[in-house]
Each structure stands twice: as C-alpha cells, then as structure tokens.
Homo-oligomer: A and B are copies of this chain.
Amino acid sequence: MCFHWFKFNLDWSYTRKILTMKIGLDIMGGDYAPKAIVLGAIAAHQSLNSNEHIVLIGDTQQIKPLLLEQGFNPDHFEYHHTDEVIGMGEHPTKAILQKPNSSIAIGFQLLKEGKIDSFASAGNSGAMLVGAVFSVKPIAGISRPCLCTIVPKLKGGTGLLLDVGANADCKPDNLLEFGVLGSLYAEHIMQIENPKVALMNIGEEDEKGNMITLASHRLMKQTKLFNFVGNVEGRDLFNDKADVIVCDGFTGNVMLKLAESFYVLTIKKGLKDEFFDRFNYENYGGSPVLGVNAPVLIGHGISSPLAIKNMIFQSRDMINTRLVNKIQAAFQ
C-alpha cells in the first residue's frame, strides 16, 4: 500500500465531472422479480438527474406490460435483453459459468466492458460475489473483497458491519483490509468524518479474543490506514462506540441474521418503535461489495420496490463519489 506518483493521475480523475452515468440493474433477481425491481426503478427514476440513467438487464419481454400498466415511458430506461436467469438456489460458480447469458453474467460483462458504471441485483448473492470477482476482479492489493451491511445506530445515523458473509475464513491481513474498505465507505458514502473503526471481539481489553482477533488487533493498533478505536463486543453493534465494525464473514453473517430475526420479531409482535423502523433493510438498499474494481451491490432476496430504489441511489452515490478510485488509491 505505498503511494507513488501514479496516485496523482488518479486524483486528477476524481475531479472530473461525471457526465453520464449508467446504473446497471438486474431485473430478474429477487423473490419479487421482475415486478418489484421495475417498480423500484420507476420510483428511483423520478429522483435521478437527467445524466443518471438506469440500465435494466434481463427478460425485457416480461416487463413491457408492467411499464405499460404503470403508464411509464419506457424510453426513460435503457435495456439489455437476456433470456437466462440464475436461480436463488443455484451453485454460484457453476451457475455463472454455465449460464453466460443470464442477467447476472451479462450484467458483469457490461460492467467489465465499461458499458455500465455499476451493477446491482437482488438475486443469487453467491453468484453476485463470484461474478464480481471473476469479471471486474479484486482491486490490486486487496486479497479478499467483502460484503457490508448498514446498521442503524440507537442515537441516530448508521454504521457499517463487514464482512457479513463473503469470506467465511479470514486471516488478520483480511480483517485489516476490511477496516480500510469500511473506513473509506463510511467516509465517502455515509459522510462520516474520520470514522471510528473497531474490531468485533469477545472482550474490550486488548488481550481478549481468538487467534484471529488477537493478531488482527495488533495489526490494527499499529495501522495508520484508519482510525482504530479498539475492540467492541456483540452488545455494541447499535451504540456509538464505532462507526465501522470489522469481523470475519462467519461472525458477521451470524450477527446479521440474528439481528434480522429480532427485527422480524418486533414486526410480528407489532412492537412499533422508531429504532426498529430504522432496522428495515429497505431504507438502505443493498449490501455493497467492497474491494472490486467497480461498484457492485447485492440486494436482499425479498427486496421491495423501496429497497430497489434505495439500492439504485447507493449505486449512484458509489459512482458519484468515485469510491472505487479512492479504494484503488489507498491500496496502491
């Protein structure tokens, strides 16, 4: 991660105004596809600038009646027709290889060729991860791209938890990278100044933890790559001790699903509360894949139109802030 003169070229690029952006969206992904996806795209379109275009990828025949029904001028969108779909239960790598004409495979092909500037799907999340790594590749210097989730904070605002499932087994170096990625996302997309980055652990003291977290803590304590504030525990996910919480993908995935089950519980039990309302994933959009050479977002399988709309806004923000360039520069 050394900085050399080439960084200045990249820095120049940050200042270049984005003239036209193309936000790629898989219309076949998700339990309520294509309807929820198209409705989300229509909703998002109302708030986008004239230079911000949505590119719908999938079976365009299926959505024609939908657009008609909504009285929406189809010319507002661009289209890439594909007639294959990767199912939610399919094996990610096999599916990507065996279905080159699927909406996910085509989406990544377009992203790789620069025909779209971001790609988002609420479909098979494994295939989305594999597709991202196979097509646009990990950023040089990053060994393991990861998946984040946005977490509501009790006192308002949001935080970030990563990795939440891309890497079930991690090494301390990976966790250090996640810290850099999370810090940059929090700074540029969530607009948190000097984000506090913490390590998820089983005690606050430096000497607590398992082999991975003990070694990661030592690395993080020495780093100047982000503002490390030490260990946090399971109980600290929603408080203000940290803006960005780093963990391996196993721990993060278990935590995410446990937290989601509480949210579902409060809904089922009719317990209304402002905090629990903010738990609703729909308000945030999707989970960013960080560490690859283009903006990629994975939506929840049960994505509603609102979730899709917000995932489109996330895509736009990732393009507008040139987050990927900033990550590339940090890892040079």
Contact = CB atoms under 8 A, between A and B. Distances in A.
A210 B269 contact: no
Contacts of A301: none
A275 B271 contact: no
A253 B202 contact: yes
A83 interface: no
Contact of A154 (B235, B253, B255, B265): B265
Interface string A259-280: 1111011100101010100000
Interface in A218-277: 233-238, 247-251, 253-262, 264-266, 269, 271, 273, 275
Contact of A258 (B259, B264, B269): B259
Copies of this chain in the oligomer: 2
A90 to B, nearest CB: 12
B235 A258 contact: yes
A258 B255 contact: yes
A209 B249 CA distance: 10
Query: What's the dominant secondary structure at chain A's contact region?
Result: helix
Interface string A166-178: 0011000000000
A209 B168 contact: yes
Interface string A135-161: 000000000000000000010000000
Contacts of A271: 266, 271, 273
Interface in A170-204: 200, 202
A215 to B, nearest CB: 12
Nearest to A247: B254
B269 A273 contact: yes
Contacts of A247: 254
Interface in A101-158: 154
Nearest to A250: B210
A275 to B, nearest CB: 7
A68 interface: no
A254 B234 contact: yes
Contact of A237 (B211, B256, B261, B269): B261
Contacts of A24: none
Contacts of A275: 265, 269
A165 interface: yes
Contacts of A238: 261, 265
Given A273-B269, A275-B265, A210 B168 contact: yes
Contacts of A265: 154, 238, 275
A254 B200 contact: yes
A217 to B, nearest CB: 13
Contacts of A254: 200, 202, 233-234, 247, 251, 254-255
11 contacts: A154-B265, A210-B248, A233-B254, A235-B257, A235-B264, A255-B255, A258-B258, A258-B259, A266-B271, A269-B275, A271-B273
Given A165-B202, A209-B250, A258-B258, 16 more contacts: A168-B202, A168-B210, A168-B211, A168-B213, A210-B248, A210-B250, A213-B250, A233-B253, A234-B255, A234-B258, A234-B259, A235-B264, A236-B261, A238-B261, A250-B251, A254-B255
